[in-house]
Amino acid sequence: MFEFTEDQLAIQEMVREFSEKEIRPIAQDTDKNGSFPEKTIKELAEMGIMGLNIPEEYGGSGLDEISKAIVISEISKCCVSTAEIVAVHLLTNDIILRMGTEEQKQKWLPNAVEGKLGAFCLTEPNAGSDAGGLKTKAEKTEGGYILNGSKLFISNFGPEEGDHLIIIALTDPEKKTHGGMTAFLIGRDTPGVQVGKTEDKMGLRGAVVSEVILDNVYVPEAEVLGKPGDGFKIAMIGLDGGRIGIAAQATGLAEAALSEGVKYANQRLQFGKPISSNQGLQWYIADMGTRIEAAKMLMLEAADKRQKGEKVTKYAAMAKYFCSETAGYVCDLSLQLHGGYGYMKDYPIERMYRDARIMRIYEGTSEIQKIVISREVIKEYT
């Protein structure tokens, strides 16, 4: 099993303490009211969490990939909506760090440390699993590009939420994912950027997800991320890290759901004894515990490899796939342990069950992860 360093353990303790004290008590209300946890994000920024993967020279905390996973996981144990906001923000920090020019880093990273949120805009109405279907166009003009189109289901972007956006757009429609896309890093106040529909979601109700409308948005060349034509590659590099982030969300949630299930099963009496004394239910608990440990190992291995600079596409996809499926499985069985009470909003497992559902969908569905994994595994074993 992974041995955390002293620094990683200290971060874990700090975030666990904060999450238990400040996030857990408001998680049910955040969900019920669909309220964006603005104050919590501000406090997390003050603690250095929103800039945790940004080097100290830009004001960040300069922490590693495992610390990032630990932080997301700890927050997720208390509130997945908050963990999602943090995870997407850290994904955008990561892309800016890896692909941005010095000027772009100086311009955006100190703001990101302060908690000014980043959004990652790939999905469109006709391009979900298939990024090759993108329609948003970036047409070359003097000194820059004109962007037109719309992006759907964009996290960290809302009527008042979101500061900067990474947008993947078509610069050469013939080439599509093979060099035909370019990534842009722009501010939300750029003329022509509008907020479209803000979604009313099943879960993650404290997080904000909206449509981004791009109406003749002029973007100077200096706001291209990486090189023109690198857009798809940049999105995939970002998603390697993002998928480990979802795996961390999922393992945190699964641990919390198991804890709720065991607590309930120990105190609920039926037939004159705690329901946890039934072997049938103990087997559920054994399966939940085993899958969680396996999920954590996959997730940490992917994070460790990314920290070491190794290619992690396969490991990130495996971790995202297995951990998100595990979160769904554990939340479902934990709800089963709760019986009818688990179906009611009085118990947090009802929220956890809904929050788990998205994990098998965003940043690439389970089916898409299996396409990525099988491609890599077949290459490896052929």
Ligand X SMILES: Cc1cc2nc3c(=O)[nH]c(=O)nc-3n(C[C@H](O)[C@H](O)[C@H](O)COP(=O)(O)OP(=O)(O)OC[C@H]3O[C@@H](n4cnc5c(N)ncnc54)[C@H](O)[C@@H]3O)c2cc1C
Indicate which single residue of 343, 367, 374, 375 sits in contact with ligand X (rule: CB under 6 A): 367
Residue 364 is a binding residue for ligand X (CB under 6 A)? yes
Indicate which single residue of 185, 356, 358, 372 sits in contact with ligand X (rule: CB under 6 A): 358
299: nearest Cα among 37, 16, 70: 70
Using CB positions, name the residue nearest to ligand X. Answer: 128
HEC readout, 20-45: HHHHHHHHHHHHHHCCCCHHHHHHHH
Residue 321 is a binding residue for ligand X (CB under 6 A)? no
* Structure-block tokens of residue 363: 């940043």
Residue 166 is a binding residue for ligand X (CB under 6 A)? no
Q: Return the number of the residue (136 or 334) whose C-beta is nearest ligand X.
A: 136
Nearest approach, Cβ of 366 to ligand X (angstroms)?
7
Catalytic positions: 363
Residue 153 is a binding residue for ligand X (CB under 6 A)? yes
CA dihedral 300, 304, 306, 312 (to 10 degrees): -60
Nearest approach, Cβ of 73 to ligand X (angstroms)?
19
**Alpha carbon distance 244, 327 (integer Å):** 14
Interaction with ligand X in 179-208: which residues (CB under 6 A)?
201, 204
Interaction mask 100-129, ligand X, x per CB under 6 A: --------------------xxxx----xx
Contacts of 64 (CB under 8 A, 6+ apart): 8, 307
Interaction mask 67-96, ligand X, x per CB under 6 A: ---------------------x--------
Q: Which stretch binds ligand X (CB under 6 A): 43-51, 142-150, 179-187, 362-370?
A: 362-370
16 to 129, 153, 250, 297: CA distances (angstroms): 34, 29, 16, 20
Q: Which residues pair with 185 in a beta bridge?
A: 166
Q: Which residues bind ligand X (CB under 6 A)?
A: 88, 120-123, 128-129, 153-155, 201, 204, 209, 358, 361-365, 367-368
